[in-house]
Amino acid sequence: MGQSSLKFGSGTRSVEELEDLAFELRSKLLHLCGTYEGAVHIGGDLSAADILTALYEYGLNVDPSDLSNPERDRFVLSKGHAAVCMYIAMAMRGFFSYEGIVETYGQLDSAYGMHPCKVQLPGVECSTGSLGHGMPLAVGMALSARGRGETHRVVSLVGDGETGEGSIWEAAMAARSNELGNLVVFVDRNRQLMTSFAEERVAFEPYPDKWAAFGWNVVTIDGHDMAQLVGAIDALPATDSTRPTVVICETVKGKGVDFMEHNLAWHAGSLGAADLERAMESLEASRGKNKNKESV
Partner 1 sequence: MPVTFTFGEMLSARSVIGTTLAELGDDYDNLWVLTPDIGATLVEFRDKFPQRFVDVGLAEQVCVSIAAGLAYEGNIPVVSGMLPFLSMRALEQVRSDVCYPNLPVKIIGTHGGLVGNGGSTHYAVEDLALMCALTNMTVTSVGDPLMVGEIIRQSMTMAGPIYIRLAVGKKDKVLYEPGQHEIRIGKGIVAREGTDATIFTHGTVVAQALDAADALERDGRSVRVVDMFTLKPIDEELIIRCAAETGGRFVVVEDHLAYGGLASRIADVIADRGLHLTAFERLGIPQVYAGFGEDEQLRDKHGYGLEATIAATRRVIAATT
Interface positions, 31-60, toward partner 1 (CB under 8 A): none
Please tell me whether the peptide bond between 206 and the residue prior to it is cis, using omega within 30 degrees of 0. yes
Q: Is 249 left (phi over 0), alpha (psi -120 to 50) or beta?
A: beta
Q: Which span (11-19, 168-176, 197-205, 288-296) binds partner 1, by CB under 8 A?
A: 168-176
Q: How far is CA 18 from CA 15, 119, 171, 204, in A?
A: 5, 30, 31, 31
Comparing CB distances to partner 1, the nearer of 160 and 165 is 165
Q: Is 73 in the site for partner 1 (CB under 8 A)?
A: no
Near partner 1 by CB under 8 A: residue from 65, 99, 108, 166: 166
Q: Which is nearer to partner 1, 122 or 231 (CB)?
A: 122
Range 117-156, binding partner 1 (CB under 8 A): 117-119, 125-127, 129-130, 132-133, 136-145, 147
Q: Does 167 bind partner 1 (CB under 8 A)?
A: yes
Q: Minimum CB separation from partner 1 for residue 131, in Å?
A: 11
Q: Is 164 in the site for partner 1 (CB under 8 A)?
A: no
Of 235, 238, 247, 275, residue with least CA distance to 259? 275
Nearer to partner 1, 173 or 265 (CB): 173
Site pattern 84..123 for partner 1 (x: CB under 8 A): ---------------------------------xxx----
CB 109 → partner 1: shortest distance, Å?
A: 17
Distances (CA, A) of 66 to 1, 4, 59, 105: 11, 9, 17, 24
Instruction: Output 26 or 74, the one with its CB closest to partner 1.
Output: 74
Work out which of 170, 222, 258, 275 binds partner 1, going by CB under 8 A: 170
The candidate with the shortest Cα–Cα distance to 191, out of 110, 256, 261, 123, is 261
The residue among 239, 242, 267, 233 whose CA lies nearest residue 253 is 267
For helices 226-234 and 42-54, what crossing angle results, to 10°?
50
19/125 with CB nearer partner 1: 125
Q: Quick one: CA torsion of 188, 160, 190, 77, rounded to 10 degrees? A: 40
| Count of H-run helices and E-run strands, the chain | 10, 5
DSSP lists the bridge partners of residue 219 as: 247
Interacting residues toward partner 1 by CB under 8 A: 117-119, 125-127, 129-130, 132-133, 136-145, 147, 166-167, 170-171, 173-174, 177-178
